[in-house]
A and B are shown apart, each in its own frame.
Chain A
């Protein structure tokens, strides 16, 4: 039993939520308590599973799970390496805190099927991180998107529904582009297994180079939509600001799916060394990432509401990550991964704080005055921590992350350094403005803060994220050492490819 469980452990992060979600949606649709118990149990199990997978990826390198035992390039495979294990771990960890927050604030009582949709979303995310097949990546993208559509309009409302329609329309266009890219890739190489693609693309004859370059750029466009890279970022502020707070916090990891896919595809299939494409993608990514960072920072400074501020901060963090990724060196990739871990947690925290403020102040607006925030000391301290994290100030992990990114970008210094440092300053200003407006300026209205239940569980969940940020800063050394090995493996993917080859079929 244990042997069977451990050999099939890799598929469980997909199968477990896939089984649990319909059960919750159908058998427990009228009982919120049962939904909460089963939803939480599912997420806790996912955390335990992902810890196991992290351990497995650390000790045994890339491992392949063949679905239906079809040999690699023909069947669909899941591949577990350090990167995918890390992303699955991050997702389930984040999901646990968000779910506690949701239960604590009673968000799940404001609409139907929250926990089922939440689990479907986790299924899509885990699948997207684990799959080793390009078409399967598309399928899992769709799974996570369709769940996110449901979550986005959870507990609907005028403005949210309209933002939802726009979000869906935009993503449907993205999916269509993805399909065009995949079909072109298949017609050129005759395979969709990512490791197999890496081998085939490297060996393409000269005549096919133009076509494969088109595929690469199409893929980059699709992932850039997901990662909210300028100029494809415009869907993000409207969507995230209108989504329910905890859902937006979960979406913090969705933009990272784009970063993950860019990292995976453009180090494995189209690395800068491959003859067909060369440094094309680095040349596109670098200026786009700089523009993203600048736009995000300026957005933070000019945001009209706290939720929009959090959304622009998320865009800025994507800019930093992709700026480091665009260097395509192991050191920069490791720094980007560290910053990715940090910014996902800090971004989620910021969205949770924005929800707490919205709930206690009645509005998240940063123009004009409103009620003072109930329990303002506690909420202000949370906002302060989230702001320090997102702006990248010491002593939290954001500072270390930015420092490592700067250190890794030393060779391409001037532009990247200037951008990161100047945007950090702009973001500090933006957060300072927002914080003083939210927590100090409200004195202009001499209303007492509205009565509000303390919601201990929700606050605890938010402080859990703070604790995670602190832990990430304290254990930066070992984490970074682990990430460096992961980054080395990404830039020399021989082991990943070898794990996928046909091999001996029993």
Chain B
């Protein structure tokens, strides 16, 4: 089982990083999600892999599995879910605004000149 888990984490991470490097917002967001799945499984495995044991010390069971990583994973899942929602909305806004989903900042001459003064400050 260790090999399976390790291979899964490795595969998810590799796929996530590959997608991150695509510079288009949709693949980047999917890549970030894959990375967060990978890290969630990784945190889970950090508490050692134990099968069929309760996450609490009990006289009825032979051993126990570490409950703390499970709590950490829960926190990490909630946070990464929220963050994915935020970046999704922002990417949608950027896409609908410019009709282009490139994630890198560049473009013609003016792009790195202060944020379009007319649009922001004049309003």
Residues of A within 8 A of B (CB): 110, 135, 139, 142, 145-146, 149, 153, 155-166, 168-169, 172-173, 175-176, 179-180, 182-184, 186-187, 238, 241-242, 244, 304-308, 358-359, 362-365, 367
- A186–B94 contact, CB under 8 A? no
Interface residue total, chain B, C-beta cutoff 8 A: 48
Q: Is B57's beta carbon under 8 Å from chain A?
A: no
- A153–B39 contact, CB under 8 A? no
Instruction: Report Cα–Cα, A307/B103, bound state, in Å.
Output: 21
- B72–A169 contact, CB under 8 A? no
Instruction: Report Cα–Cα, A58/B100, bound state, in Å.
Output: 54
Q: Quick one: which of B43, B97, B117, B119 contacts A179, CB cutoff 8 A?
A: B43
Q: Quick one: which of A168, A241, A358 contacts B83, CB cutoff 8 A?
A: A168
Contact of A158 with B113 at beta-carbon distance under 8 Å, contacts A179-B43, A187-B46 already known: no
When distances are taken between beta carbons in the complex, the residues of chain A under 8 Å from B84 are: 172
- B115–A159 contact, CB under 8 A? yes
Q: Is B5's beta carbon under 8 Å from chain A?
A: no
- B117–A166 contact, CB under 8 A? no
Contact of A184 with B116 at beta-carbon distance under 8 Å, contacts A149-B86, A169-B32 already known: no
- A358–B39 contact, CB under 8 A? no
* Total cross-chain contacts (CB, 8 A): 142
When distances are taken between beta carbons in the complex, the residues of chain B under 8 Å from A162 are: 94, 98, 103, 105
Instruction: Report Cα–Cα, A160/B120, bound state, in Å.
Output: 9
Q: Is B68's beta carbon under 8 Å from chain A?
A: yes
* Beyond A162-B98, A176-B35, A186-B47, 10 extra complex contacts between A and B, CB < 8 Å: A135-B72, A161-B90, A165-B25, A166-B105, A169-B20, A172-B80, A179-B42, A186-B46, A187-B47, A358-B114
When distances are taken between beta carbons in the complex, the residues of chain A under 8 Å from B20 are: 169, 173
When distances are taken between beta carbons in the complex, the residues of chain A under 8 Å from B87 are: 165, 168-169, 172
Q: Is B104's beta carbon under 8 Å from chain A?
A: yes
The 10 closest A-B pairs by CB, nearest first: A364-B114, A183-B46, A187-B46, A183-B43, A161-B94, A305-B114, A179-B39, A157-B120, A157-B119, A168-B87
Q: Which of A169, A184, A306 has the largest number of chain B CB atoms within 10 A?
A: A169
Instruction: Report Cα–Cα, A176/B104, bound state, in Å.
Output: 20
- B39–A365 contact, CB under 8 A? no
Instruction: Report Cα–Cα, A305/B25, bound state, in Å.
Output: 27
Q: Is B93's beta carbon under 8 Å from chain A?
A: yes
When distances are taken between beta carbons in the complex, the residues of chain A under 8 Å from B35 are: 172-173, 176
- A168–B90 contact, CB under 8 A? yes
- A149–B90 contact, CB under 8 A? yes
Q: Quick one: which of B76, B98, B114 contacts A158, CB cutoff 8 A?
A: B98
In the complex, per-residue mask of B31-44: 1 if CB is within 8 Å of any chain A CB, else 0: 01001101100110
- B117–A358 contact, CB under 8 A? yes
5 contacts between A and B (CB under 8 A): A139-B79, A160-B120, A163-B115, A176-B38, A304-B112
- B32–A159 contact, CB under 8 A? no
- A365–B83 contact, CB under 8 A? no
Instruction: Report Cα–Cα, A365/B114, bound state, in Å.
Output: 7
- B113–A364 contact, CB under 8 A? yes
**Chain A facing B: main interface SS:** helix
Q: Quick one: which of B48, B86, B123 contacts A110, CB cutoff 8 A?
A: B123
Instruction: Report Cα–Cα, A306/B83, bound state, in Å.
Output: 31
Instruction: Report Cα–Cα, A12/B115, bound state, in Å.
Output: 37
When distances are taken between beta carbons in the complex, the residues of chain A under 8 Å from B115 are: 157, 159-160, 163, 241-242, 307
- B86–A146 contact, CB under 8 A? yes
Q: Quick one: which of A142, A157, A160 contacts B79, CB cutoff 8 A?
A: A142
When distances are taken between beta carbons in the complex, the residues of chain A under 8 Å from B94 are: 158, 161-162, 164-165
- B46–A158 contact, CB under 8 A? no
When distances are taken between beta carbons in the complex, the residues of chain B under 8 Å from A307 are: 114-115
When distances are taken between beta carbons in the complex, the residues of chain B under 8 Å from A175 are: 79-80, 83
Q: Quick one: which of A155, A160, A173, A186 contacts B68, CB cutoff 8 A?
A: A186
When distances are taken between beta carbons in the complex, the residues of chain B under 8 Å from A163 are: 105, 115
When distances are taken between beta carbons in the complex, the residues of chain A under 8 Å from B46 are: 183-184, 186-187
When distances are taken between beta carbons in the complex, the residues of chain B under 8 Å from A161 are: 90, 93-94, 97
Instruction: Report Cα–Cα, A186/B45, bound state, in Å.
Output: 10
Q: Of all chain B residues, which has the CB nearest A184?
A: B46
Instruction: Report Cα–Cα, A40/B73, bound state, in Å.
Output: 37
- A158–B119 contact, CB under 8 A? yes
When distances are taken between beta carbons in the complex, the residues of chain B under 8 Å from A165 are: 25, 87, 90-91, 94, 103
Instruction: Report Cα–Cα, A35/B78, bound state, in Å.
Output: 29
When distances are taken between beta carbons in the complex, the residues of chain A under 8 Å from B86 are: 146, 149, 168
Q: Is B69's beta carbon under 8 Å from chain A?
A: yes
- A146–B82 contact, CB under 8 A? yes
- A180–B121 contact, CB under 8 A? no
Contact of A157 with B32 at beta-carbon distance under 8 Å, contacts A179-B43, A179-B76, A180-B42 already known: no
When distances are taken between beta carbons in the complex, the residues of chain B under 8 Å from A363 are: 113-114, 117
Contact of A172 with B83 at beta-carbon distance under 8 Å, contacts A166-B105, A183-B42, A186-B47 already known: yes
Q: Of all chain A residues, which has the CB nearest B20?
A: A173
Within the complex, what minimum Cβ distance (angstroms) separates B54 from chain A?
19
Q: Of all chain A residues, which has the CB nearest B44?
A: A183
Within the complex, what minimum Cβ distance (angstroms) separates A370 from chain B?
10
When distances are taken between beta carbons in the complex, the residues of chain B under 8 Å from A169 are: 20, 28-29, 32, 87, 103
Q: Is B53's beta carbon under 8 Å from chain A?
A: no
